[in-house]
Amino acid sequence: MRDKPADLDESLLAPALEAWGIKAVGLAHAPVGFGDHHWIATGADGRRWFLTAATLPSAPHTAPPPSPAPDGLLQEPRAAGGLDEGARVAFGELGRALETAAALSATLKFVVAPVPDLDGGALLRPLAARYALSVFPFVDGVTGGFDDEPAEHDRAQVIDLLAELHGTSPPPSTPSRPLQPAGRAALERALAETGRPWTGGPYAERARALLDRHAGTLHARLRDFDRGCRDLGPPVVTHGEPHPGNVLRHEGRCLLIDWDTVGLAVPERDLWLVARTPGDLARYAAATGRTPDPAALALYRLRWSLDDVAQYVALFRAPHGNTRDAELSWHFLTRTLDGLAAGGPSAR
């Protein structure tokens, strides 16, 4: 995120890092990524760390109850004490994703995973009323952007990493990632409520009018999605978002970062974000023995666009200000809706 969170006191970060044995002598906001907030901390020993403060929802969560946690996962009530119902569920879901990444990193050296704290080995700790803090080793490298078009060589490297990931046995903590867009219910509610004012902030009424204008397209694309839903085959461990912004080039090799969405799904959940040519898909098939399904690739591409629209609409229906992040969200929302109207993929 480009803006610092207005409701998070930055002075809380240094004391929180003591749980990891880090005495922070320097702290710099890192305006990268989208969704979570990041800082780079420098310890007294000169070592640097990458911090992520994930926003937890304050509204009651509608997801099904989490499955029993394996040994070593964040425990209640110590880990999530003080959080409301929705935030506690989101905290547990994120914790399972991070534990999965940590387990995968033991054998897959391209996984950049969080480090455990010194008080029970937790990978995630609550921070203020609606944030959760995780700490990663700082890796000096270069990432791309979502819209980047990677060269054939870079795509080949990432496809090889995905083939290795997809062939790995799932750790017990691996979440299941259903095919249905996570934000579908909220999007359908928003579509049903475009006939009355939205009051979240400066973009609320603009978002209402935009959604009303594209309502026909969205309903049609939701029907397209439903028609495409079927049994897509056995699931594997997927990253969820292996786009160029989550590929870190370090010392001549590619690493995958941002494992918040790791989970069980079919390979196409990852592949649509990477493969550009028949040769890319053939490379994956040769490595895994599994031929990607073009219809499943298209379905996940559409799913991404629908989830993007749901995310940005939810942001503009909630309290928000006239910030750089709001401006970027408006840009992404309009581009994605234009792409859906044209029958194409997400334009983010």
- 219, 226 in Cβ contact below 8 A? no
Residue 347 has a pLDDT of 38
Residue 149 has a pLDDT of 86
Task: Give the Cα separation of 297 and 282 in Å (integer).
Answer: 14
| pLDDT cut 70: percent of the chain above it | 90
- N-to-C CA span, the chain: 15
- 16, 127 in Cβ contact below 8 A? yes
- 271, 174 in Cβ contact below 8 A? no
Report the CATH number of the 1-138 domain.
3.30.200.20
Task: Give the Cα separation of 306 and 300 in Å (integer).
Answer: 10
- Tell which residue, 296, 299, 278, has the closest CA to residue 221: 299
Question: What are the E-state strand segments in 35-173?
Answer: 37-43, 48-55, 125-127, 131-137
Given a cut of 90, is residue 3 above it in pLDDT?
A: no
Task: Give the Cα separation of 290 and 284 in Å (integer).
Answer: 8
Task: Give the Cα separation of 172 and 187 in Å (integer).
Answer: 32
pLDDT tens-digit series, residues 301-340: 999 999 999 999 999 999 999 988 899 999 999 999 999 9
- 220, 251 in Cβ contact below 8 A? no
pLDDT tens-digit series, residues 23-69: 999 999 988 766 689 999 999 999 999 999 998 876 543 443 333 33
The helix/strand/coil state of 175 is coil
Task: Give the Cα separation of 298 and 101 in Å (integer).
Answer: 27
The helix/strand/coil state of 298 is helix
